[in-house]
Structure 1
Amino acid sequence: MARPANDPAREVDDHGGSLERAAALFPGAPQPWLDLSTGISPYPYPLPRLPASAFQRLPEEAGLKDLAHVAARAYGAPGAEHVVAAPGTQMLLPLVAALVAPGRAAVLSPTYAEHRRAAALAGHAVAETRDFAALRSADLAIVVNPNNPDGRVSERAALLDLAARLRARGGLLVVDEAFMDVGPCGEALDAAVDDGGLVVLRSFGKFFGLAGVRLGFAIAAPRIAARLRARLGPWPVSGAAIEIGRQALADHAWQEETRRRLQRRAAQLDALLAENGLRVAGGTPLFRFLRPSGAESLFRCLGEDGILVRSFTEDPEALRLGLPGDDAALLRLSRSLRRWQTIRDGSRR
């Protein structure tokens, strides 16, 4: 049965990254598409050679434990017993929301819409708020840090205080650190989960550019982590994901070089946007957030040129752009932006 449009548990159908939807919107767009609608890195981790056993056998418990150890070191968690691997953080959202009995959930917004939906599916009455202080009265509070889509950063001290307040009442704070790999690491909470009242989510696919691997992690106190593992059951992630994840998460040299590479490319994108009169209103090194005059016309112009960026039904004045991965992509974006400027200047005469 279809859910009403105002139901918070209604399926979200306007995520970025759908080239099928883009083709339906812009059937005459040139191919191939330049997809700038996600926050996924354009520089994927080089896939290692995988043993045949990664596909032929069910994953062994030892491999999953090794992945947890590597992830704990990479993210700064207290230990492997605090780390729960899953087939993407998306799968974890309703399980984490269900750690608290149905009550009041508050989501610091605007942000990733799936958090609202997952909390509603877990039975919570969900409210979205722009007021950080309003999170204190919730049973379940959700903060994305750095935030998607605007890159807003919530301070670690404020989040720890919030977690303590919720913990005292049997509540829970969920902090989604999907973009913390390129964020201010001093604000990360992964090392602070032992006190309880806190679950941190980490996405693998975004920074490592391997979203299709479907790998993510929850980091929590051991008793909470054990509950999540029990809900996921045996073999929560594939053998291939285990092999790729533990190699990539242990490759610190590649990670540092990639962060520098992303910063350089983001600076180039900023310069291009500025040349075309577009001011960056927020973001992270993986995406830029804009509030341009004429957001809809810019979205359509880019789409007609086969360039997909992220628009927002609930915020039609906003756009989010991922990073063009190479000079050819940057040039293609530059040409489309110049065409938009020409169209806009002509309409003003």
Structure 2
Amino acid sequence: MPEHGGNLRDARRLYGRTDWIDLSAGLNPDWYPAPALADNAWHRLPEPDPALVEAACSYYGAPHMLAVAGTQAAIQALPRLRAPSRIVIAAPSYAEHAHHWALHGHTATQVAYDALAAAVDRCDVLVVCNPNNPTGATVPRALLLDWAGTLAERGGWLVVDEAFGDTDGANSVADCTDRPGLIVLRSVGKFFGLAGVRLGFVAAQPALLDALDELLGPWQVSGPAQQVGKAALLDRAWQRATHAALLLAGQRLRTLLAAHGVDSTGTALFQWWPEARPELFHEHMARRGIWVRLFRTGPRGIRLGLPPDEAAWTRLATALNEWTRESK
């Protein structure tokens, strides 16, 4: 199983602290305030709520969507809907994509973002995180739609993981998923900060969504998750305020890193850089109760999310000052 951020139990086991600042998962630290649940939320079987899908289609601009138990559920299931195929996955990328395509008889190859255009003609499925996790790299919308058309002509798919797309929707292709072979994944875990709810959405043509729904089976999304997710997707005032706040926080993080000689890239929710000594940086931060995401391979580097409050910003700045001094 690939490594992931958010593994605070590992941090506590290894370092024995309890005052952790978790910057490892790239989630909005000011998560959506979940409303009170209906009295029967824990009792009723969670039949799908059409109003949830309507709210998702409106928010994401997609013509058709399927609610799933986090986009991870779709990532694991989509490879099972195709016969063995040639898969190209943009790299570096969220590791679960390559992991699951390789598990189901497909030939999976990872290709750098700047070489994707040349790879379209030699694959049946192209998987792109846009913006990318962990680097923040993006592919222009027009180019994605061109690739989708090329792949569809021979029965192929373009799978676009837009889990981090809420703060910069300019390159989203969710609105075009009525086209053959174009599949978009969206998540409430990142922008809304609701990773624990396990709720995501797949946008695609109805026939593909029906096949995915049949494969995943009944009661995919819990009743409480449906209620909380619907409230978040409908709350336009919270979304507008949060969008603006995250853009400012993201710029603040990038500026703080630059002040310590770190040339980073990323999104409003995280920054990433190819740190020359990533294990040492990770250890340095962990000793100070700051848990960051370490990438040991492909490529080696550090991803760092937004601090949750001013005290955490101060602790991060202090730790970076100490790292800069010790590195000289």
TM range (shorter): over 0.9
Cα deviation digits, residues 189-208 of structure 1 (max 9, x gap): 11111121111000111111
Counterpart contact for 2:279–2:296, Cα < 8 Å: no
SS in structure 2 at match of 1:90: helix
User: For structure 1, which runs of at least 5 residues remain unmatched after alignment?
Assistant: 1-10
Match of 2:315 among 324, 329, 332: 332
Q: Are 2:86 and 1:99 aligned?
A: no
Q: Are 2:213 and 1:229 aligned?
A: yes
- Cα 1:33–1:200, aligned 2, differ >3 Å: closer, same or farther? same
- 2:136 aligned partner: 151
Q: Displacement, 1:326?
A: 1.0
**Separation in 2 of the partners of 1:109 and 1:338?**
32
Q: Displacement, 1:121?
A: 2.2
Counterpart contact for 2:274–2:299, Cα < 8 Å: no
**Separation in 2 of the partners of 1:250 and 1:326?**
26
**Separation in 2 of the partners of 1:159 and 1:74?**
21
Of 43-52 and 290-299, deviating more is 290-299
**Separation in 2 of the partners of 1:148 and 1:84?**
23
Counterpart contact for 1:295–1:316, Cα < 8 Å: no
Q: Which amino acid aligns with 1:116?
A: A
Q: Which amino acid aligns with 1:32?
A: D
Q: Displacement, 1:316?
A: 6.2
**Separation in 2 of the partners of 1:135 and 1:309?**
34
- 2:231 aligned partner: 247
Q: Displacement, 1:22?
A: 2.1
Q: Are 2:132 and 1:141 aligned?
A: no
Counterpart contact for 2:89–2:111, Cα < 8 Å: yes
Q: Which amino acid aligns with 1:72?
A: C
- 2:289 aligned partner: 306
**Separation in 2 of the partners of 1:342 and 1:155?**
40
Q: Any residues of structure 2 matched to 1:188-199 within 5 Å, and which?
A: 188-199=172-183
For normalisation by structure 1, the TM-score amounts to 0.90
- 1:267 aligned partner: 251
- 2:41 aligned partner: 54
SS in structure 2 at match of 1:54: coil
SS in structure 1 at match of 2:27: coil
Counterpart contact for 1:309–1:321, Cα < 8 Å: yes
> What is the root-mean-square deviation in Å for CA atoms of aligned residues?
1.4
Cα deviation digits, residues 62-101 of structure 1 (max 9, x gap): xx211111100000012xxx21101101011122222221
Q: Any residues of structure 2 matched to 1:204-215 within 5 Å, and which?
A: 204-215=188-199
Q: Displacement, 1:163?
A: 1.0
For normalisation by structure 2, the TM-score amounts to 0.95
SS in structure 1 at match of 2:88: strand
Q: Displacement, 1:334?
A: 1.0
Cα deviation digits, residues 157-193 of structure 1 (max 9, x gap): 111111111111111111000011012x121111111
- 1:113 aligned partner: 95
- What is the aligned-residue identity percentage? 44
Counterpart contact for 1:136–1:162, Cα < 8 Å: no
Counterpart contact for 2:276–2:301, Cα < 8 Å: no
- 1:126 aligned partner: 108
Q: Displacement, 1:219?
A: 0.4
- 1:169 aligned partner: 154
Counterpart contact for 1:299–1:309, Cα < 8 Å: yes
**Separation in 2 of the partners of 1:113 and 1:85?**
22
Counterpart contact for 2:278–2:295, Cα < 8 Å: no
Q: Displacement, 1:315?
A: 4.0
Q: Displacement, 1:211?
A: 0.4
Cα deviation digits, residues 96-128 of structure 1 (max 9, x gap): 222221121110111001000111123211110
**Separation in 1 of the partners of 2:210 and 2:277?**
49
- 1:289 aligned partner: 272
**Separation in 1 of the partners of 2:246 and 2:121?**
35
